[in-house]
Amino acid sequence: MSNLTKILKKNFDASYHQQLILAGDLADSMNSKVYLVGGAVRDVLLGKSVNDIDLVVVGDSEDFADQLAIKLGGEITARSQFLTAKISFSDFSIDVASARRDYYPYPGSLPQVNLVKSIDQDLVRRDISINAMAISINRNTWGDLIDPMNGEDDLYQRKVRILYKRSFRDDPTRMLRVVLYSQRLGFPIDENTKDLIPKNLRYLRRMAGWRIFITFKHILRESDPHKILDEAHSLGILRSIHSSLELENVDLDQLKLITKFDGENSHFVMLSILVSSLAELDSKKLIRRLKMTGRWIRVINDTQSLKKLVKVMSAEDLLNSKIFDLLSNLDVASLEAMYLISDSDLVRSNIRLFLDKLRFLAPELNGDDLIKLGFPEGPYIGKVLKNLENLVIDGIVKTREDEVNFARGTLTDL
Ligand code: ATP
Ligand code: MG
Is residue 355 a part of any domain in this protein?
Answer: no
Is residue 361 a part of any domain in this protein?
Answer: no
Is residue 354 a part of any domain in this protein?
Answer: no
Structural domain that includes position 399:
367-413
CATH code, domain carrying 27: 3.30.460.10
CA distance 289 to 99: 32
Q: Are residues 221 and 134 in the same domain?
A: no
- Secondary structure of the chain as H, E, C letters: CCECHHHHHHHCCHHHHHHHHHHHHHHHHCCCEEEEECHHHHHHHCCCCCCCEEEEEECCHHHHHHHHHHHHCCEEEEEECCCEEEEECCCCEEEEEECEEEECCCCCCCCEEEECCCHHHHHCCCCEHHHCCEEECCHHHCCEEECCCCHHHHHHHCCECECCCCHHHHCCHHHHHHHHHHHHHCCCECHHHHHHHHHHHHHHHHCCHHHHHHHHHHHHCCCCHHHHHHHHHHCCHHHHHCHHHCHHHCCHHHHHHHHHCCCCCHHHHHHHHHHHCCCHHHHHHHHHHCCCCHHHHHHHHHHHHHHHHHHHHCCCCCCHHHHHHHHCCCCHHHHHHHHHHCCCHHHHHHHHHHHHCHHHCCCCCCHHHHHHCCCCCCHHHHHHHHHHHHHHHCCCCCCHHHHHHHHHHHHCCC
Is residue 264 a part of any domain in this protein?
Answer: yes
Nearest residue (CA) to ligand 1, atom 25 = 127
For every one of its 414 residues, what pLDDT tens digit does the chain have, with 9 covering 90 and above?
Answer: 799 999 999 888 888 899 999 999 999 999 999 999 999 999 999 998 887 899 999 988 899 999 999 999 999 988 887 688 999 988 889 999 999 998 888 888 888 888 999 999 999 999 999 999 999 999 999 999 999 999 999 999 999 999 999 999 999 999 999 999 999 999 999 999 999 999 999 999 989 999 999 999 999 999 999 999 999 999 999 999 998 887 566 777 888 999 999 999 999 999 999 999 899 999 999 999 999 999 999 999 999 999 999 999 988 889 999 999 999 999 999 999 999 999 999 999 999 999 999 999 999 988 888 888 888 888 888 888 999 999 999 999 888 998 888 888 887 766
pLDDT the model gives residue 414: 63
Residues with CB under 6 A from ligand 1: 38-39, 52, 54, 126-127, 131-132, 171, 173-174, 177
Q: Are residues 69 and 211 in the same domain?
A: no
Domain count for the chain, please give it: 3
Nearest residue (CA) to ligand 1, atom 14 = 38
pLDDT the model gives residue 202: 95
Is residue 359 a part of any domain in this protein?
Answer: no
Dist. CA 52 → ligand 2 center (Å): 6
Side-chain-side CA neighbours of 3 within 13 Å: the count stands at 9
Q: Are residues 140 and 19 in the same domain?
A: yes
Residue 385 CA, distance from chain mean position: 38
Dist. CA 39 → ligand 2 center (Å): 6
CATH code, domain carrying 187: 1.10.3090.10
Q: Are residues 122 and 239 in the same domain?
A: no
Q: Are residues 290 and 401 in the same domain?
A: no
Is residue 29 a part of any domain in this protein?
Answer: yes
What's the whole-model pTM score? Answer: 0.91
Among residues 324, 292, 295, 297, the alpha carbon closest in space to that of 309 is found at: 324
Q: Are residues 60 and 178 in the same domain?
A: no
Dist. CA 177 → ligand 1 center (Å): 8
Instruction: Answer for the pair 289, 209: CB distance below 8 angstroms, yes or no.
Output: yes
Nearest residue (CA) to ligand 1, atom 28 = 127
Determine the atom of ligand 1 nearest the C-alpha atom of 174: 27
Is residue 357 a part of any domain in this protein?
Answer: no
Q: Are residues 81 and 206 in the same domain?
A: no
